[in-house]
Structure 1
Amino acid sequence: MGGENSKLAFRKCVFRLAEQRNLPDSADDAWSPFWLLPDGPHDVFSLVTPADIRRIRDHAQENFIKLIDKVFDRLLILKATKDLVKNPVNTKQLLNCVRILTRLIPFVFETCPDSSVIEDIVLWTQRPRPGSGADYILGRQLVSATVDLLFTSGFTVPLATVSEDSAVRYTIWENGIGQTSSLGSSKEHVANRVEVLRLLLVICSRTMYMPAGRSTVMPNRALHAIAYNSNKRMILCLLCSLINTSLRDRVQGWAIPYRGAAAMDPNDELSLHAMQALFILLDYQAPASKAASNNEPVDVAGPLPSDPESDVNTPSMVLVTGTNTGAQNLFRVFISKLHRTQEFDYLFTNVMRLLDEAMRANLSILASVTKGPTKHVMPQEAAILLWVLLENNSPFKDYLVDHNSSLRLFSVLLYFMLNGYSDPAQAGMVRTISHILHYLSEDSRFATRLMQPFDQSILPSTMRLVDASLTHADFMINTVFTLLSASKPYLVPVYSNLLLLVRNVSPYLTQISQTTADKLVSLFDIISSPAFIISEPFHVRWLIYLIEVFDYVVHYRAVDNPCLMYSMVKARSYFTRLRSFDIDKAKAELALLREKKSKAESTRTIGRTQAQMGSAQKTTGDLDESAANSMSSLSLATAATPSENTHSTIYAQENENLKSPDGYSSPALSDKARGKRPDNNSPAEVDAQSRASSQANALEEEPLNKGKGKGKGKCKGKGKDKGKDKDKSAENGHAETTKGKAMARPGTGGPGQHQFQPTAEWVFSWLPDLPLDPIIAVLDALAVHIDRITEEVQKDTEEAASTAASQLAAKQVPGSDVKVDSQPHSQSPSNASFANSTAFSFIAASADPMQTIIRWLSSDAMVQALPDLEESMPEIRPRLQGLSPALVIWFRSLLWSMIYASGMKPFGIWKNTQVKMFVVKHSV
């Protein structure tokens, strides 16, 4: 905007709309400044404030609606102008129309002070178009015009050739999927695409202004008009343009991908908005009519005008579907049709590049100096794109599982989990990665590949493990242990996915290290403690997942995992205490732990109060130390207590002195042992799990009784049916959930806080079905042999030490040339002391029977010692990841919260608007 006079004139126009009611269409001096005066988006967003917009909307609604109509009418006129780009004035006015609409539309979705919503009036009600008198529906026309602007010749794509007469040129922006060469777009085209994509996101942002739980039953008519459009050519060009632009590689040579400027590079901003638009278009599903809101119309906007040439000149990736797709999201349909190897190569290579760039940026010197992640790298967006591709394209999952770099992808994803788990701002990314890993673990080929050696060189030194001879499965289990022991309330939904990851991989585990084995058993100690089990209802699911891990190992991989079997034998009391589970004792234990924690917190409060009153620092330090000791005792008790938001906390201590006797390979197995192993070449049978959840912020878990088929408990006749009852219909799942609620009563744990109150019926619903008997039988059988081996090793060691001590004592006698065994001599006190100490040291060094035990557990002798497990043999099948309503709601909320956050800079597109989907907390 030229100067202060122009800004003042523009502000007067804004005030006039609020103060002067019913301005006529002919009052050009009131309308035209909105597309004539601003020089850029900053002018629009700084001079038209949220307070101004609400004042016009609430006190002069007719002017608010007419302003939108007039600006849009001007946009249509300019869009249809030939040689648009040859006249810079027209281009500026068109961009200003886009900017004004971007500024105004979010306030259309807000709830007015009188509790009314004017969205239907402004966007979806038929009324005369200004200037022409013809009736039109603004919302439909606005969506159509915005999509056309993304492909307007000379404005967002290069000028059409002489043979192309149309102003709208549906073509793919960048090379990649469906396009082998780039259009050669200019920086003006890039900048214009950014502004139009910003408007498209705003038009589709109706979802932000409804409660999260309603987003699956209330339609988004703008998204519907695009995703369910009949113009296949438009959809294909838009889909490929968004994918290719999102993954565009801007070569930077040896430079670190870091730009510290306040303003984002236009190409980066375009990639970000393209990825966001792609996500919301792929995510949208039209709600069923019967599930729609009573106060919200269900009908959605009709399709955009069909292109008569929509079936010709289509991109190369198109497959002929053969049928009318009907009510399907065509973006999902077409992305599921990707099948060529070069297409998958392009997608996987560029997703890995984005993740690698973000990882290198985090590990750069600049990032370590600034103590924060570098700007404008998109690891979370890359992870979401990977998940979306895996969910919507099964051949891509097969391609990824078989790819040579799949294990590197696995390692990089685990790196981002370890790097972000302690930061609440990265909880969304950590959870996204947990879903990806869970989804991949359902494939037996991928689970088997995790047994390959793990190269720690890609990790920073702070994340590397001491043992260098680890597999990817070792690194995975150590990562799971680290995250669960961190006890972050915002990661509670992630914990289920991590335990399911370990559970799905467990039938294929081989040669895990002693350190990993001890951590896995330590984790089981925590989760199987009676107080922990009853502190939250979903803790039982975690227990079931871990018991299934040990059940699979015992039946299929016992001889392949001597270290784990040894750790389990040493900790067999953890399994036996479950068989004798007593709910009254568990309640008493939990009450005691909560009382201790309450006292510890009170002590901390008193300490802080005394410090504020000027007490000596020593007093405060003693109180803090006392509280720390109290919390430490709670940690060692391995029980969790509910936090303020009812999430559970997990306390665990990592043993730093664990030994790792790796390097023992499994010898050739007998026919009997081979018969107990699964055939890795035969695909595991997989049944889909039905998940039904009514809680938007709850875990996406199966009902408790869905785990019944996975266990035998004390009934040995159930082994063959293990897993058959796991996959229920949604109706049965709902019934079981209702039953579970009847068994467990909520109680009051304090003012405004509810605590889970388990009952005997609730315990009986899951305890008898735990597969404890075969596990305990195996551990008891092995314990007898391990005790025998221990005694033999100690006996042999003592005899050898006694002989060595006698020889050493004889050598200390002066002038003695007689053999020790033929003429023993008496020893002086000093010599005897030396001999005894030497012998003691020898015994201490040789008495550890662990090496011998590990060798025996890897041998055929151990297989022969196992009891008959044929009747309890579980069927190998993964627990699948289903798209429950709660998961869909969480994912949709994550997408829109990311879009909201990215729109805060530089203009604050949705800032200070009344979003309902999530809570916005402004930093001080």
Structure 2
Amino acid sequence: MGSGQSSLSYRTAFVQLRNRTQPIDANNDEFWDQFWCDGPTRISDMFASVPGSEIRLLREESPGNLATLCYKAVERLAQIAEASFPTTQDQQTAINCVRLLTRIIPYLFEDPEWRPFFWSVLPAQNESNSQATSSVPLAQTLISSLCDLLFCPDFTVHSLTKPGPENVEDMHTIDSCEYIWEAGVGFAQSPAPNAQHDANRTEIIRLLLVCFSETMYLTQSEARSEVNKWIAFFSGPENRHVLPLFTSLLNVVCAYNPSSSSLPYNHLMFTDSREPLVEVALQVLCVTLEADTHNLDSMEKRRLNSSTSDDSGTNLFLNYLSRIHRDEDFSFILEGISRLLNNPLTQTYLPGSAKKVEMHQELLILFWRICDINKKFMYYVLKSSRVLDVLVPILYHLIEARNDKSQLGLMHIGVFIILLLSGERNFGVRLNKPYTSRTAFDITVFTGNHADLLIIVFHKIITTGHQCLQPLFDCLITIIDNVSPYVKSLSMISASKLLHLTEAFSQPWFLYSAPNNYQLVLFLLEVFNNMIQYQFDGNSCLVYSIIRKRQVFYQLANLPSTDEDIREIMSAHSSLRRRFEVPPDTEEDEPEEEEEDLELDQNEEKATEDTFQDKNKEIVASAGEESTEKKQEEGVELKNGDVAEASPKDEGKEEAAATDKSGNLQTSLVGTPSLASMTTDTAPVGSSADAAERVSGDDLHSHEGPSSPIHTALPPSNDVSGSRQLEETFAVADASKIKEKTDTSSDQKSNEGIAPTDTTKESSKPSKKSQSRRMTTTSTVASSTSTSARTTTTVPWRPTARWVADWREKLPLQTIMRMLQVLVPQVEKICIEKSLKDEPQILKFLQNGTLVGLLPVPHPILIRKYQSNVGTTVWFRTYIWGVVYLRNSDPPIWFDTNVHLFEVQRS
């Protein structure tokens, strides 16, 4: 039968199914067999033969016939899976059943009344099997049958010839662990590639993904409170194939090499059967590793009551992933992910000669989940420079997507991954490796290390990115802050970029336009302090840039702070409050102004220094007198700020989107939680290596400002006995809790950087109910990402003199001002006496200088680490399903259905 005639017959059968006035008997095999014995030969033909409107009509007009059709298709799959030796005809029948269910199931999920249908049981055909089937839901029968078929010899796996009389494989007795699809984790043999096996696997896994997609048709509140039973059963202990399935999916993804052929343009002449399999396997891994089979509300309760134990919802995919520990397995996973991430960056002499794959969003999600679930893997990634093989493509995609509003989800996942990595000392140390890649970045050409690349890319995102990225500024600056104590040297270009950002963020109108904008300046000041105190010797370019831009810091020390001044500033810049705009970056165009720039206005500088020194004395004097009452006051301020951040931002909302290849579909995402709820502050709480053992529940305290006098007054630790040890696990806290850890070392200025000693403390603040309510609404990704309330809130807010005075005292200007007080006169003097006029000579003078004994006591290192919370879990769930929705355009599985987890915009 030809393809066209087959499709026509198939369509006719569907019309008959809808038009029959009486329910069709389930035992009428002659009628039902026409749906899978002579069906379309391609899945695209199936989608063309059965339009969505026909399925909806069938669902509304003949629900009994539609239910019987699904029952019969699942029953037929179960019969084939239970057969000892499925024939070739059985295999084709199974594929046709899979295609039919792939087409129908999304339209059943649309209707809430149909969703429990699959958790009903198969009707008993006779008395003998009535008891056996009465307790098995239809969904479990379907999942079990599909998993059996994924390890069916000569259908989806190679047949293994066994010695002895029992040399024929029986589906009932085979050990699926012997049939893992690819060598890698837990399996050493690499079966020969088979295009037909890959095609059959792809069809079956695609149906599994369709079954899991019930989440798409739930609202945010429903998805938060309900368990995805499909994923729970698939990844649970009742699935006898769960281990070989996990290893097969993971190994197929990580072993895939799209550029394995050395022949140019080979991919244009031959079809790659493995790429579709890798894509769908990667998507199944993402959704199964994302899902905790407990609902999010119960996750929250268990987190608050750690004594509660419930193994009924165990996700074995998460369990197996967390138990991987061999270095060779870690190397295999990391090499596979980095190879695929770097594939779009590959440069060839012949344009288009190498195959390019576009699965970087799923790869980033998978990498994120592996790092979050298996901390040993993350530490393995960080202990060598191979982490840079992941960082560079992330930065590349961030640069490419910065102006595309539909790629906001990609921007967020990339920044979240770097934020997670930046919480570890080794990441900052690895950034010192010289950057020699030939990747075509859309940035200023520079010679330097990977820290320079990171800063230049972040500067480009902030200054030229889409305005919806503004809420990400906190995360970007926090990452730079986290790595700054370990960066040995910055180039002149990256140093000037940091000063340019400081100049932009320190503009009074911007500082006064939102309650927490000042934190961006505070973080940047911490960056400068870290480099001055711990890496001064190698950062002469940064010191020189600070000297050239010293007026920025003088102005920060003397900000206009009266109510009248504030009103005047905000009135003059009222039109700019809705969007942040940076001043022009002219650092690289002013070499001739260096000598003039070094001539000081002695009276102005003297007045500025005197004012700052007077204020500095007051701060230092009060540092030793801080009391518990003061700490509590600071904690209350933070708490109030968090409540304000959690309120819905109804104005200025924009729909974030991820777009498909054609660019005509977009999906919205929920808002992400604030930076404060995604990170933990690390600060010194002791000086010995066993300090962690002394921390108990009595040590809990409210969160303090990261640069408060309490912190800066404490001396650094001189004990390094445990400084090189890495944490084995992260403590998972509530989204509103702030966890304190130590990151200190006595070897604070060594070439190796700073080695941390971690000690844990948690605050006792209650969780924010308003934030959990906000997570159930659909809004733009960028609407609530960070702590800064740079978009309008429901409650009008106005800056006051008292508010400015509160945070201005927290700005850590002491170290920078002291450095300027010492170096500016010396630089000016040497320029006059030796007639130094060019930049290299001044830099050489600064390189040979020292500030030992002249700067304040080195401050403790403060690192803000990412911590898991319910808010990010909700965001990732929506983002993952949005990516899956858009990536499956051929065939368009979900495009014509009404999903509720996110909004779909069609342009």
Same fold (TM over 0.5): yes
Query: Given the alignment, which residue of 314, 324, 339 partners 1:328?
Result: 314
Q: Kindly provide the amino acid, as one letter, of the partner of residue 458 in structure 1.
A: R
1:310-459 → structure 2 map (5 Å cutoff): 327-360=313-346, 366=351, 376-455=357-436, 457-459=437-439
Post-superposition offset of 1:447: 0.9
Structure 2 CA distance for aligned equivalents of residues 286 and 532 of structure 1: 44
Check whether the contact 2:490–2:542 (CA below 8 A) recurs between aligned residues.
Answer: yes
Q: Identify if the C-alpha distance between structure 1 residues 20 and 736 changes in structure 2 by more than 3 Å, giving closer, same or farther.
A: closer
Check whether the contact 2:516–2:788 (CA below 8 A) recurs between aligned residues.
Answer: no
Q: Kindly provide the amino acid, as one letter, of the partner of residue 657 in structure 1.
A: D
Q: TM-score, length-normalised on structure 1?
A: 0.72
Gaps of 5+ in 2: 303-308, 594-637, 649-669, 682-702, 717-737, 742-760, 773-783
Q: Identify if the C-alpha distance between structure 1 residues 880 and 123 changes in structure 2 by more than 3 Å, giving closer, same or farther.
A: same
Q: Identify if the C-alpha distance between structure 1 residues 258 and 508 changes in structure 2 by more than 3 Å, giving closer, same or farther.
A: farther
Pair 1:209 & 2:217 matched: yes
Post-superposition offset of 1:127: 5.9
Partner of 1:46: 48
Pair 1:916 & 2:900 matched: yes
Post-superposition offset of 1:549: 1.3
Query: What secondary structure is seen at the aligned counterpart in 1 of 2:904?
Result: coil
- Give the number of aligned pairs: 740
Check whether the contact 1:511–1:561 (CA below 8 A) recurs between aligned residues.
Answer: yes
Pair 1:702 & 2:676 matched: yes
Q: Percent identity?
A: 24
Q: Identify if the C-alpha distance between structure 1 residues 660 and 519 changes in structure 2 by more than 3 Å, giving closer, same or farther.
A: farther
Check whether the contact 2:382–2:426 (CA below 8 A) recurs between aligned residues.
Answer: yes
Pair 1:794 & 2:794 matched: no
Post-superposition offset of 1:463: 4.2
Cα deviation code 1:61-115 (max 9, x no counterpart): 2222121111111221222233313xx322221111111111111112113xxxx
Query: What secondary structure is seen at the aligned counterpart in 2 of 1:247?
Result: helix
Query: Given the alignment, which residue of 765, 768, 771 partners 1:734?
Result: 768
1:277-288 → structure 2 map (5 Å cutoff): 277-288=284-295
Partner of 2:573: 593
Query: What secondary structure is seen at the aligned counterpart in 2 of 1:376?
Result: coil
Structure 1 CA distance for aligned equivalents of residues 817 and 273 of structure 2: 65
Query: What secondary structure is seen at the aligned counterpart in 1 of 2:852?
Result: helix
Partner of 1:632: none
Pair 1:245 & 2:252 matched: yes
Q: Identify if the C-alpha distance between structure 1 residues 791 and 761 changes in structure 2 by more than 3 Å, giving closer, same or farther.
A: closer
Post-superposition offset of 1:249: 3.4
Pair 1:904 & 2:889 matched: yes
Partner of 1:888: 873
Check whether the contact 2:365–2:413 (CA below 8 A) recurs between aligned residues.
Answer: yes
Check whether the contact 1:642–1:649 (CA below 8 A) recurs between aligned residues.
Answer: no
Cα deviation code 1:149-195 (max 9, x no counterpart): 21123321123543553346413111111111123353221111011
1:617-632 → structure 2 map (5 Å cutoff): none
1:804-819 → structure 2 map (5 Å cutoff): none
Partner of 2:26: 25
Q: Identify if the C-alpha distance between structure 1 residues 594 and 779 changes in structure 2 by more than 3 Å, giving closer, same or farther.
A: same
Query: What secondary structure is seen at the aligned counterpart in 2 of 1:757?
Result: coil
Q: Kindly provide the amino acid, as one letter, of the partner of residue 843 in structure 2.
A: I
Query: What secondary structure is seen at the aligned counterpart in 1 of 2:255?
Result: coil
Q: Identify if the C-alpha distance between structure 1 residues 55 and 438 changes in structure 2 by more than 3 Å, giving closer, same or farther.
A: same
Partner of 1:62: 64
**Further displaced range: 430-439 or 537-546:** 537-546
Post-superposition offset of 1:775: 3.5
Which one scores higher on RCO, CA 8 angstroms, separation ≥ 6?
2
Check whether the contact 2:46–2:99 (CA below 8 A) recurs between aligned residues.
Answer: yes
Q: Kindly provide the amino acid, as one letter, of the partner of residue 697 in structure 1.
A: G
Partner of 1:119: 115
Partner of 1:222: 230
Q: Identify if the C-alpha distance between structure 1 residues 561 and 269 changes in structure 2 by more than 3 Å, giving closer, same or farther.
A: same
Post-superposition offset of 1:474: 1.5
User: What value does the CA root-mean-square deviation take over the aligned residues?
Assistant: 4.0
Check whether the contact 1:500–1:879 (CA below 8 A) recurs between aligned residues.
Answer: yes
Partner of 2:101: 101
Post-superposition offset of 1:794: 2.5
Query: What secondary structure is seen at the aligned counterpart in 2 of 1:458?
Result: coil
Structure 1 CA distance for aligned equivalents of residues 432 and 51 of structure 2: 58
Q: Kindly provide the amino acid, as one letter, of the partner of residue 878 in structure 1.
A: I
Structure 2 CA distance for aligned equivalents of residues 461 and 397 of structure 1: 26
Structure 2 CA distance for aligned equivalents of residues 500 and 390 of structure 1: 19
Partner of 2:190: 182
Check whether the contact 1:559–1:862 (CA below 8 A) recurs between aligned residues.
Answer: no
Check whether the contact 1:703–1:736 (CA below 8 A) recurs between aligned residues.
Answer: no
Post-superposition offset of 1:377: 4.0
Pair 1:505 & 2:483 matched: yes
Post-superposition offset of 1:658: 5.5
Cα deviation code 1:832-855 (max 9, x no counterpart): xxxxxxxxxxxxxx545x555534
Query: What secondary structure is seen at the aligned counterpart in 2 of 1:473?
Result: helix
Structure 2 CA distance for aligned equivalents of residues 130 and 532 of structure 1: 73
Q: TM-score, length-normalised on structure 2?
A: 0.73
Cα deviation code 1:722-771 (max 9, x no counterpart): 99868644844639989xx9xx999997xxx9796244499369605623
Partner of 2:280: 273
Structure 1 CA distance for aligned equivalents of residues 766 and 256 of structure 2: 48
Structure 2 CA distance for aligned equivalents of residues 159 and 202 of structure 1: 28
Structure 1 CA distance for aligned equivalents of residues 592 and 26 of structure 2: 82
Q: Identify if the C-alpha distance between structure 1 residues 543 and 199 changes in structure 2 by more than 3 Å, giving closer, same or farther.
A: same
Query: What secondary structure is seen at the aligned counterpart in 2 of 1:921?
Result: strand
Post-superposition offset of 1:213: 5.6
Gaps of 5+ in 1: 299-322, 596-639, 662-688, 798-845
Structure 2 CA distance for aligned equivalents of residues 590 and 440 of structure 1: 38
Q: Identify if the C-alpha distance between structure 1 residues 174 and 489 changes in structure 2 by more than 3 Å, giving closer, same or farther.
A: same
Check whether the contact 2:525–2:811 (CA below 8 A) recurs between aligned residues.
Answer: yes
Query: What secondary structure is seen at the aligned counterpart in 2 of 1:532?
Result: helix
Post-superposition offset of 1:35: 1.0
Pair 1:657 & 2:657 matched: no
Structure 1 CA distance for aligned equivalents of residues 189 and 901 of structure 2: 40
Cα deviation code 1:540-592 (max 9, x no counterpart): 44333223212323433344422222322333443344453536644543443
Post-superposition offset of 1:506: 1.0
Q: Identify if the C-alpha distance between structure 1 residues 462 and 548 changes in structure 2 by more than 3 Å, giving closer, same or farther.
A: closer
Structure 2 CA distance for aligned equivalents of residues 730 and 884 of structure 1: 16
Partner of 2:85: 83
Q: Kindly provide the amino acid, as one letter, of the partner of residue 321 in structure 2.
A: I
Query: What secondary structure is seen at the aligned counterpart in 2 of 1:790?
Result: helix
Structure 1 CA distance for aligned equivalents of residues 791 and 848 of structure 2: 55
Post-superposition offset of 1:273: 0.8
Structure 2 CA distance for aligned equivalents of residues 20 and 389 of structure 1: 52
Structure 1 CA distance for aligned equivalents of residues 847 and 299 of structure 2: 60
Post-superposition offset of 1:721: 9.3
Q: Kindly provide the amino acid, as one letter, of the partner of residue 12 in structure 1.
A: T
Structure 2 CA distance for aligned equivalents of residues 704 and 382 of structure 1: 22
Query: Given the alignment, which residue of 553, 556, 569 partners 2:547?
Result: 569
Post-superposition offset of 1:46: 0.9
Structure 2 CA distance for aligned equivalents of residues 769 and 454 of structure 1: 39
Larger C-alpha radius of gyration, 1 or 2? 1
Q: Identify if the C-alpha distance between structure 1 residues 701 and 733 changes in structure 2 by more than 3 Å, giving closer, same or farther.
A: farther
Post-superposition offset of 1:117: 3.0
Pair 1:165 & 2:170 matched: yes
Partner of 2:653: none
Q: Kindly provide the amino acid, as one letter, of the partner of residue 72 in structure 1.
A: V
Check whether the contact 2:80–2:94 (CA below 8 A) recurs between aligned residues.
Answer: yes
Structure 2 CA distance for aligned equivalents of residues 11 and 451 of structure 1: 64
1:818-897 → structure 2 map (5 Å cutoff): 846-847=836-837, 850-851=839-840, 853-864=842-853, 866-867=854-855, 869-870=856-857, 873-897=858-882
